[in-house]
Amino acid sequence: MVRSAIDLGHNLGLRVVAEGVEDVRALLRLREMSCDYAQGYALSHPVSARHLPDAGRQAQQVVLDAIAIVLALT
């Protein structure tokens, strides 16, 4: 169902956001399915506006680490 939803969005010319991504395993799976964006606890818990820049940097590191895992497996 998830792959179909992603494909449908792409076929309509849209970018797709997966919500509720709770772990890196799900994040990696969504990447395999060409999901464009993700949000959820895997990247950051809710933060106040003043902590947003730090949360963004931490989320970016989670993504980079996940990509490193993928590259190491290939």
Q: What is the pLDDT of residues 8-21, one digit of tens each?
A: 999 999 999 999 99
Mean pLDDT of the chain: 94
Q: For residue 36, name the pLDDT band (cuts at 50, 70, 90).
A: very high
pLDDT at 66: 86
- Looking at the structure of the chain, the number of domains it has is 1
**Is the model's pLDDT at 68 over the cut of 80?**
yes
DSSP letter (8 states) at residue 40 = S
Q: For residue 61, name the pLDDT band (cuts at 50, 70, 90).
A: very high
Residue showing tokens 């449908």: 8
pLDDT at 71: 86
Give the integer Cα–Cα distance in Å for 35 and 37: 6
Query: What is the extent of the structural domain holding 13?
Result: 2-73
